Structure 1
Amino acid sequence: MSTENVNEEVHNAYEVIKNGGIILYPTDTVWGIGCDATNEEAIKKIYALKQREETKSMIVLMNGDRMLYNVFNEVPEVAWQILDVTDKPTTLILDNPRNVAKNIVAPDNTLGMRLVKEPFCYKLMERMKKPLVSTSANISGMPTPNSFKEIDHHILDGVDYIVNLHHDKVAAKPSTIIKLGNDLQVKVIRP
């Protein structure tokens, strides 16, 4: 995969996202459906496409500390410790997010986030200057697809843009999910 292809796909996806669209894209784990995490209407489109209740929050991807601190005023020290020692993609659920759409925040005022280095996602967020919604590319309650060819036609037909990268790649496992409260409570949701 050339840098030129990644840059072209970043440009195409960005044009769709900045106009309120939703994309189907490869993440560092599984294929995801995404949009601008500050756009409430675009997030509603994802909930509708996945046939998912809006009370079941989704996660956001971020590309670094600056974006993390723009969304979370307080990041517990244990979050940095976990991110430093983990060798696999890890989603952290943190308290009191801000500067994101209200309909992506869980009813308990938390939000799951994952820092990613995967080139496409990283460069797209660099261009957006905002977090990217990430939710598995399946109808709610159905299995998460392990490859592009397993994605349901309803999802393929329902997004505004399909990123043309890694269509032959088998997905990695979904990320580990750990909930970290500002009260220092730590709970593993998915190992």
Structure 2
Amino acid sequence: MITTSVAEAASCLKKGQVLAYPTEAVWGLGCDPYNEQAFHQILKLKQRPIEKGVILLAANVAQVEHLLQGLSPEMREKVIASWSNRKPTERATTWLLPAGEHIPSWIKGNHPKVAVRVTTHSLCVALCQAFNGFIVSTSANPAGLNPARSLQEASQYFANDLEYLNGDLGLSQEPSQIIDAETGEIIRT
């Protein structure tokens, strides 16, 4: 199914289906992060090892507030500012945050932290709001291939193996940078 309806796309996620959708810079694959079967379908589609972990994408800080509580007040402000003060053409920032007990082990992979991004991409914001929570967000491509930058490229990779939310990519030219919020180490430049 290809839809332009955010409500239909969120319904697919709630039913345990995998969804391809445009993000700030590339197309992503998403699912309900608490649905292990859907998550394993993403790993199969991408030919990605579970050890790597994935990014969680949220519509707003409230959806990930519980993950920010282990940070110092200064770092918490820095993380939130990077999400809320980003211009549409700027590269998004994903932060490695203390995972806490509510994040499934399959989301973290072999890591003690979880990668989280609050998006300003309007379609992704609407999708996370309609889903009523954060979703998995990993690039829409099989391992070793370039991330899809259009519906056509995503469907060439995955054909009818998933659902598609059609829409426009954001204006960023590259995927998010990843920074460890506790150490400041840049994981992906």
The TM tier, using the shorter chain, reads: 0.7 to 0.9
Q: How far is 1:154 from its partner?
A: 3.7
Q: How far is 1:102 from its partner?
A: 2.2
Of structures 1 and 2, the one with the larger relative CO (CA 8 A, separation 6+) is 2
Give the 3-state SS of the residue equivalent to 2:178 in structure 1. strand
Q: How far is 1:170 from its partner?
A: 7.8
**In 1, Cα distance between equivalents of 2:141 and 2:96:** 22
Of residues 58, 72, 75, the one that matches 1:62 is 58
Alignment CA distance shift 1:81-1:71 (3 Å): closer
Question: What residue is the counterpart of 1:80 in the other structure?
Answer: 77
Residue 81 of structure 1 aligns with an amino acid whose one-letter code is K
Alignment CA distance shift 1:104-1:15 (3 Å): same
TM-score if structure 2 supplies the norm length?
Answer: 0.83
Q: How far is 1:147 from its partner?
A: 3.2
What does 1:138-157 align with in structure 2 at a 5 Å threshold? 138-151=141-154, 153-157=156-160
- Count of matched residue positions in the alignment of Structure 1 and Structure 2: 180
Alignment CA distance shift 1:144-1:170 (3 Å): farther
Tell me if the contact between 1:61 and 1:113 (Cα under 8 Å) persists in the aligned partners: yes
Q: How far is 1:105 from its partner?
A: 1.2
- Cα-to-partner distance string for 1:91-113 (whole Å, 9 max, x where unaligned): 11112244333210132311111
**In 1, Cα distance between equivalents of 2:131 and 2:103:** 13
What does 1:20-169 align with in structure 2 at a 5 Å threshold? 20-76=16-72, 77-84=74-81, 87=86, 88=90, 89-151=92-154, 153-159=156-162, 161-166=163-168
Give the 3-state SS of the residue equivalent to 1:144 in structure 2. coil
Alignment CA distance shift 1:136-1:12 (3 Å): same
Tell me if the contact between 2:67 and 2:98 (Cα under 8 Å) persists in the aligned partners: no
Listed as ranges, the gaps of 5+ residues in structure 2 are none
Q: How far is 1:151 from its partner?
A: 3.0
Residue 174 of structure 1 aligns with an amino acid whose one-letter code is P
Residue 8 of structure 2 aligns with an amino acid whose one-letter code is N
Residue 177 of structure 2 aligns with an amino acid whose one-letter code is T
Give the 3-state SS of the residue equivalent to 1:149 in structure 2. helix
- What is the percentage of aligned positions where both structures have the same residue? 27
**In 1, Cα distance between equivalents of 2:153 and 2:21:** 14
- Cα-to-partner distance string for 1:91-150 (whole Å, 9 max, x where unaligned): 111122443332101323111111112222112211222211000010012222333333
- Cα-to-partner distance string for 1:68-108 (whole Å, 9 max, x where unaligned): 12345423432431542563311111122443332101323
**In 1, Cα distance between equivalents of 2:68 and 2:157:** 34
Tell me if the contact between 2:26 and 2:139 (Cα under 8 Å) persists in the aligned partners: yes
Instruction: Please provide the CA RMSD for this pair.
Output: 2.4
Give the 3-state SS of the residue equivalent to 1:93 in structure 2. strand
**In 1, Cα distance between equivalents of 2:6 and 2:67:** 23
